[in-house]
Amino acid sequence: MLAISVVHSVDCAILRMILDDPDQAHDVLSDNGFRVSEAELLVISLPPGRRALLHTWTALLGAEVNIHYTYPLLIRPFGHAALALLPDNMDGAMRVLRDRQFQLISQADLRDHLEDHH
């Protein structure tokens, strides 16, 4: 498990997880009676410095990309804090972040990081 968020109400709870093997997690959860939906997220390595989030949000705001939700990852791929986010425009977010020299992190990068630290 790389990140987790729980939203609980009287009638139900929504558990959002970022996992190193989402396909396996989907199968396990579905096979055990849980309702499962998936969303593609964008994961970035935050730049060094005290204003990392400010630089990230400024880049996305300048491209008019809105963020539905975000999670800090519990691991530090490439030695830096990492952030997973769901933008309203995935292609636009990826383009602006690459143009601004942000390091995008793939599913393979996350899996490799976990294998290297076990």
Domains annotated on the chain, with CATH:
3-116 (3.30.2130.10)
Q: Comparing C-alpha atoms, which of 115, 98, 97, 117 is closest to residue 107?
A: 115
Q: Comparing C-alpha atoms, which of 5, 18, 15, 4 is closest to residue 111?
A: 18
Q: Is the pLDDT of residue 118 over 80?
A: no
Residue 23, burial from CB neighbour count under 10 angstroms (0-12, 13-18, 19+): exposed
Q: Is the pLDDT of residue 27 over 70?
A: yes
Give residue-wise pLDDT tens across range 96-115: 999 999 999 988 888 777 66
Q: What are phi and psi of 2, to 5 degrees?
A: -100, -25
Q: What is the C-alpha to C-alpha distance for residues 23 and 41, in angstroms, rounded to an integer?
A: 14
First to last CA, the chain: 14
Looking at residue 16, its pLDDT comes to 87
Give residue-wise pLDDT tens across range 43-91: 999 988 889 899 999 999 999 999 998 988 888 888 888 999 999 999 9
Q: Which two tokens stand for residue 74?
A: 């519990």
Q: What is the C-alpha to C-alpha distance for residues 43 and 103, in angstroms, rounded to an integer?
A: 9
- Residue 60: count of CB within 10 angstroms of its CB: 23
pTM for this prediction: 0.81
Looking at residue 15, its pLDDT comes to 86
Query: Taking a C-beta distance cutoff of 8 angstroms, is the pair 96, 24 a contact?
Result: no
